Structure 1
Amino acid sequence: MSIYVGNLSYDVTENDITGVFSEYGTVKRVQVPTDRETGRLRGFAFVEMGTEAEEAAAIEALDGAEWMGRGLKVNKAKPKEDRGSSGGGRGGYGGGGRNRY
């Protein structure tokens, strides 16, 4: 399981996040997603801690805390939803059943 960290500054680095979360235990991994087109940070991250107790301590301490001028949103990350395959169905994308390639 991992921790979702939202409302991050766009200037934050993985090292910044590791430094803050390491105060609550072992940081196994930090992921800071970027926008595919611009390469800009998306304002959130995922952190994996060594144990559930360390995870709980970090969430308790950091949720709502101000860091780098922003109030953090910190909670257990929800599993990624299966959104199905893209392109299936009509969903308002035109159609007509003929291939127009």
Structure 2
Amino acid sequence: MIRLYAGNLPADITEKEFTELFAEFGRVFNYELARDIFSGRCRGFGFIEMEGHEARAAITGLNGRSLRGSSLRVNEERPKARGRGGRR
């Protein structure tokens, strides 16, 4: 199972549209759209879980694809960097 990051999503994308976009390449096991707490609109990114070969096909097929004027960014999720900034 691979977790993908999808960025540069339009603010008005729906969960149905988001999952259908990836379902072209295989079965979507789990998804999560980042939403604004107050407006409920998409914050421009989300995550998808798919099988390995299907996830790689989705990356190839969707990365750079235009969706309502936005060029999508799709790649494997990277772990958060643990930097030196922030509170201690």
| TM-score normalised per structure 2 | 0.84
Structure 1 runs, 4 residues or longer, greater than 6 Å off: none
Query: 2:63 — aligned with what?
Result: 63
Question: Which whole-Å deviations, capped at 9, do the CAs of 1:32-53 have from their partners, x for residues lacking one?
Answer: 112345543210110111x100
Which of structures 1 and 2 has the bigger CA Rg?
Answer: 1
Quick one: percent identity of the two aligned structures?
38
After TM superposition, give the deviation of residue 82 of structure 1 in Å: 4.7
Matched residue SS, 1:58:
helix
Aligned residue in 2 for 1:14: 15
Any conservation in 1 of the 2:59–2:74 contact (CA below 8 Å)? yes
Q: Which amino acid aligns with 1:63?
A: N
The 5 A counterparts of 1:25-40 are: 25-36=26-37, 38-40=39-41
In the alignment, which residue of structure 2 is the partner of 1:73? Answer: 73
Higher strand share: 2
CA gap of 1:28–1:9, structure 2 versus 1, over 3 A, is: same
Deviations 1:36-73 (A, max 9, x none): 45543210110111x10000000001000011221101
Tell me how far apart the structure 1 counterparts of residues 52 and 31 of structure 2 sit (CA, whole Å): 16
CA distance in 2, matches of 1:74, 1:8: 10
* Aligned residue type for 1:9: P
- How many positions carry a matched residue from both structures? 86
